[in-house]
Amino acid sequence: MIFLNASTVVAGTLLLAALPIAETLEFTPEAGATYVRTLQMQKSTEVESATISVMDQEMDAGGGMVMSGSRNLKIVDVLGKVEDGRVMDFVRTYESVLDESSAEGVSDDIQVSGADGEASDLEGQQVSFTWDAEEDAYTPKYVGEESGEDEWLEELAVSLDMVNWLPEGELDVGAKWELSLDELGSLIWYGGRLYPITAPDSDGGPEGGISITVPNFSEIQKMEGTEGQIRLTFERLEEEDGNRIAFVSFELKGTIDQDLAEEATAFQEASGSEQVFEAADQSIEMAGSGELRWDLNTGHLVSLTLDLEQDIEENAEWSASAHGMDLEISFTATKSQTYHIELGVERTSGDE
């Protein structure tokens, strides 16, 4: 027979309270649930120097220019069938997709193209995503009689609650894990590329002049082959409105060196240009930090924030034809860029 006195009970209670409780951060979807996902992104780019050389004639190409941009995105997902924790199909409504941009310090010889504040043609569209086990990916398809262009579907990304950022198995407060810096692309281009390729506007140039389109590296980045990591830490556990919220901080640092010549040529071809790139190299040094909040009760992302700084070097060489001449063109630039991103998710049950 075992006897417990008062001091033994108190000591035992304190010991149990001090033991860490292992948690599991995993996406636990429910058939019929609705997820409202909103993204707000602010982006600023300062062109420290930019030079373009045409047939050995060197010209300034926007040094000192400052470009600002924003994206406001709201998508609503209604889940269909769920099997063993995997969403087998869901319908996404693009309620709002709006990019805006502006530029300061632009010379009369330079035209900066970007979002003009008009909504994306995806706005109001519905797309169904169905899991294809053989392809290990989701197959998108427009819903309803009114649909968009098929080329849009190829550029869409699922990005369901940033599940690639989650660790496997149980973990205690204070646990740490790392991700490849490649995973950053799923946040910077959340949902995929939501605007189509458009032909550059060459109107307004001097009569008899030559219009040269410099590649927009932001449109063709791959975020592959990075060197660096995203380091995450399970900081603490708090209760909010009856739900247990895991707070995960993260820091990132690394570099990316990209050869984008093939992508730049394909991008220009799609926009109606015949420029062929022999080189399109981009080097980026980046550092950033943020926080991820995860609802442990319902198993979904609550929010994710990121502040990111980048130092960028770009070099490109390509050929073009104008006025019966074959032109050899080169471009070099150094830039600094910042991002501020806020991603929020609200979940409602299908039974509510």
Asked if the structure places residue 23 within a domain, the reply is: no
**Element containing residue 153 per DSSP (H, E):** helix 150-153
CATH at residue 104: 2.30.230
Task: Give the per-residue pLDDT at 128.
Answer: 96
Contact 244, 297 (CB under 8 A): yes
Contact 195, 151 (CB under 8 A): no
Task: Give the per-residue pLDDT at 237.
Answer: 94
Facing residues of 284 across strands?
256, 312
Asked if the structure places residue 24 within a domain, the reply is: no
Range of the domain at 293: 29-198+211-348
Asked if the structure places residue 257 within a domain, the reply is: yes
Asked if the structure places residue 19 within a domain, the reply is: no
Asked if the structure places residue 205 within a domain, the reply is: no
Task: Give the per-residue pLDDT at 253.
Answer: 96
Tell me how crowded residue 35 is: count the other CB atoms within 10 A of its CB: 20
R_g over Cα of the chain: 25
pLDDT, mean over the chain: 84
The listed range with the strongest mean pLDDT (143-152, 158-167, 210-219) is: 158-167
State whether the Cα torsion 202-204-209-214 is positive or negative.
negative
State the total domains in the chain: 1
Tokens (6 digits) for 35? 């997820």
Asked if the structure places residue 320 within a domain, the reply is: yes
Asked if the structure places residue 7 within a domain, the reply is: no
Share of the chain above pLDDT 90, in %: 50
Asked if the structure places residue 8 within a domain, the reply is: no
Contact 25, 246 (CB under 8 A): yes
Contact 68, 47 (CB under 8 A): no
Which amino acid, residue 170?
Answer: E
Share of the chain above pLDDT 70, in %: 83
